[in-house]
Amino acid sequence: MKNNEVTLGGTYLAKVTDKVVPVRIDATNPHGGWDATNLATNKKVRIKSAQRLRGPAPDRQASQRTRAVAEAQAADAAANARARQRDQPPQRRRWAGSQRSRRSRQLRTFSAKSTGTKKY
C-alpha cells in the first residue's frame, strides 16, 4: 500500500512478527508511520511504513459469521457420523478366541527358534 491510501481508524491486514493479522490504525506516529492495535491480540503495535500493510481487512463480523457456520456444519457432520456408526452392525474380529491364542503360540515358537532360546 501507499501512505496516501492509509486512513486513521481504518482496519488493514498488516505483517506483524511474520504473521499477517488485522490491525486498526489509531494515530500517526511523530517519528513516522502509525500507531495501531493488533486486533488478534489487542496489543499496541507500530507500523513504520506502508510496506507492512497488505490492504484493507475483511469485515470481522462476516468472518465470525462464516466461522460460526463452519462450526455448525462440522458439529452436524460429526453427529451424522456417530449416528451412522451406531446403525452399522459390529465388525467381525480377525482372530477369534482359540485362533488368537494359536497364532500367538506360533509367533512365540518362531521367535524362540530364531533367537535360540527355549520355548516358554
Residue 53 within a domain: yes
- Compute φ and ψ for 13, nearest 5 degrees: -85, 130
pLDDT(58) > 70? yes
User: Containing domain of residue 38, as a range?
Assistant: 3-60
Query: Which pLDDT belongs to residue 5?
Result: 87
Choose between 63 and 72: higher pLDDT. 72
Q: In this structure, is residue 120 part of a structural domain?
A: no
- The CATH code of the domain that includes 21 is 2.30.30.140
Section 39-65 average pLDDT: 84
> Would you say residue 120 has pLDDT above 60?
no
Read out DSSP for 103-119? HHHHHHHHHHHHHTPPP
Domain assignment present for residue 27? The answer is yes
Give the residue carrying C-alpha cell 463452519.
70
Query: Number of structural domains, the chain?
Result: 1
Q: What is the pLDDT of residue 45?
A: 93
Query: Is residue 85 domain-resident?
Result: no
Q: How far from 106 is each of 59, 97, 98, CA to CA, in Å?
A: 66, 15, 12
Which residues neighbour 52 within 8 Å (Cβ) at sequence distance 6 or greater?
14, 15, 16
Contact 27, 47 (CB under 8 A): no
Q: How confident is the model at residue 104 (pLDDT cuts 50, 70, 90)?
A: low
Q: Do the domain assignments include residue 30?
A: yes
